[in-house]
């Protein structure tokens, strides 16, 4: 029996609503592939391949994060191609000073943003699933700075993903060394086209992130491509 179009359309809408209940339908892998075919700048690139020697500490691939659960099956960091190019420039700048970047997170599937919101609903520190995050667009990076020789992290205002007022990038700090390191990181990132997020000293958005769509592509699909 042929299903009337109106019924079929309703079923499709109900399925989409069940999968994405916050009213935002992100770009699929197939749609993403078509976008990349038309514009290679849209590609999500592996930061370890794009920036040889970059240090990763992907907390969401472990239980060492604010959710206490493993969110990613793979400890990988991706970003859109222009973001990766700019990040490589930051790395080169810092290496001249004996410093390097350590990446905590890059592209984040939209499904992970939904989990974060449902665990911790305060959008001061987690993105709203109604709009999606800059991470979902492949245009945000969570990072810190390490010593190039010892690989030890520099003293910063808070630990990564700390939901404290001290995490705000303009918070007046008593620790002068941490304040100096924070200012150095922000200046280094801004020089190459990034802007620090208003409530997280470690989170930087690539200027022009609005040009990129929200994605819900698992790392497995990116690894296999």
| Cα gap 202→214, rounded to integer Å | 21
**Interior CA angle at 129 toward 127 and 133, to 5°?**
45
Task: Please report, for the chain, the start and end positions of each structural domain, with discontinuous segments joined by +.
Answer: 26-224
Q: Read off the pLDDT of residues 71-130 as tens digits, 9 standing for 90 and up.
A: 999 999 999 999 999 999 999 999 999 999 999 999 999 999 999 999 887 788 888 899
> What is the mean pLDDT of the segment spanning 22-42?
95
Q: Which residue has the higher pLDDT, 191 or 125?
A: 191
pLDDT exceeds cutoff 90 at 21: no
Q: Read off the pLDDT of residues 45-65 as tens digits, 9 standing for 90 and up.
A: 999 999 999 999 999 999 999
The pLDDT assigned to 154 comes to 98
Task: Tokens for 66, please give them.
Answer: 């604010």
Place of tokens 């472990």: 62
| Cα gap 80→215, rounded to integer Å | 11
Residues ≥6 apart with Cβ < 8 Å to 11: 3
> What is the mean pLDDT of the segment spanning 15-40?
85
Q: Cα torsion at 111, 42, 57, 62 (round to 10°)? A: 20
First-to-last alpha carbon distance for the chain, in angstroms, is 39
The pLDDT assigned to 8 comes to 33
The pLDDT assigned to 85 comes to 98
The pLDDT assigned to 175 comes to 97
**pTM of the model as a whole:** 0.89
Query: Which letter does DSSP use for residue 171 in this model?
Result: P
Residues forming the active site: 200
Tell me the C-alpha to C-alpha distance, in Å, between residue 179 and each of 79, 104, 202: 28, 20, 13
CATH 3.30.1380.10 is the classification of domain 26-224: yes
The pLDDT assigned to 9 comes to 33
pLDDT exceeds cutoff 70 at 11: no
Q: Read off the pLDDT of residues 132-184 as tens digits, 9 standing for 90 and up.
A: 999 999 999 999 999 999 999 999 999 999 999 999 999 999 999 999 999 99
CB atoms within 10 A of CB 149: 9
The pLDDT assigned to 165 comes to 95
Residue of 137, 141, 142 lying closest to 209 (CA atoms): 137
The pLDDT assigned to 2 comes to 54
């Amino acid at each position: 029996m042929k299903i009337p179009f109106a019924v079929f359309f309703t079923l499709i809408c109900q399925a989409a609503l069940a999968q994405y209940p916050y009213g935002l339908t992100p770009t699929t892998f197939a749609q993403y592939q078509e976008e990349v075919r038309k514009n290679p700048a849209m590609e999500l690139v592996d930061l370890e391949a794009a920036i040889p020697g970059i240090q990763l500490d992907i907390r969401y691939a472990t239980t060492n994060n604010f959710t206490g659960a493993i969110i990613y099956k793979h400890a990988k960091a991706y970003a859109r191609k222009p973001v990766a190019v700019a990040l490589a420039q930051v790395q080169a700048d810092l290496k001249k000073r004996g410093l390097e970047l350590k990446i905590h997170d890059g592209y984040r599937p939209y499904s992970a943003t939904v989990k974060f919101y449902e665990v911790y609903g305060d959008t001061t520190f987690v993105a709203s699933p109604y709009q999606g995050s800059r991470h979902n667009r492949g245009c945000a990076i969570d990072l810190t700075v390490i010593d190039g020789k010892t690989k030890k992290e520099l003293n910063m205002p808070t630990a990564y993903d700390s939901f404290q007022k001290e995490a705000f990038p303009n918070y007046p700090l008593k620790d002068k060394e941490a304040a100096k390191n924070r200012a150095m990181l922000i200046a280094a990132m801004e020089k190459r086209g990034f802007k620090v997020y208003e409530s997280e000293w470690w989170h930087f958005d690539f200027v022009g992130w609005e040009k990129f769509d929200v994605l819900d592509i698992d790392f497995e699909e990116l690894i296999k491509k």
